[in-house]
Copies of this chain bind each other. A is one copy, B any other.
C-alpha cells in the first residue's frame, strides 16, 4: 500500500471517530510525539494534547454531533510527515480542512487539524504538478 493510501486511511479514521463520537479512537489518532494543535472552525487555536482532547471530549459528548462526511481528500507526502486537504461536508454546508500527520512507528498520527469555510469543493488535480517528496 502506498504512503498516500495509508495517509488517506488515517484521515478517514479521524472522520469515522468524529462521526461515531468515539473519544477513545480520537485520542488514539492524535500524535504523542509531535507538538499538536487543533483549530476548530472559528475557534482560537488549541495547543497540546490536553487542550485538544478536552475539546474533542466536549464536542463528541455534546449530544449534538455534527453529521460530517469527508470528501475530496488528497494526500501530500514529505517523508514521515504528510498532509491531507479535504472537505468536511455536513447538512449545514461544506468546510475545508488541512490535516497534518506525522508517521510514528509506521503509523500516521494527527498533528494539526485546521478546519474553516470554503467556497467550493477541494478537488486536487489528478496528477499534482510537484512530486511527493520521499
Contacts and interface: CB of A to CB of B under 8 A. Distances in A.
Contact of A78 (B45, B111, B128): B111
A116 interface: yes
Which bracket fits the contact residues of A?
Answer: 35 or more
B119 A49 contact: no
Q: Count the copies.
A: 2
A50 interface: yes
Interface stretch (A13-21, A59-67, A96-104): A96-104
8 contacts: A31-B130, A35-B132, A36-B130, A41-B116, A44-B118, A44-B123, A48-B125, A79-B80
Q: Please give me the 7 A-B residue pairs with the lowest Cβ-Cβ distance, nearest first.
A: A116-B116, A48-B129, A35-B76, A44-B120, A81-B81, A98-B114, A35-B130
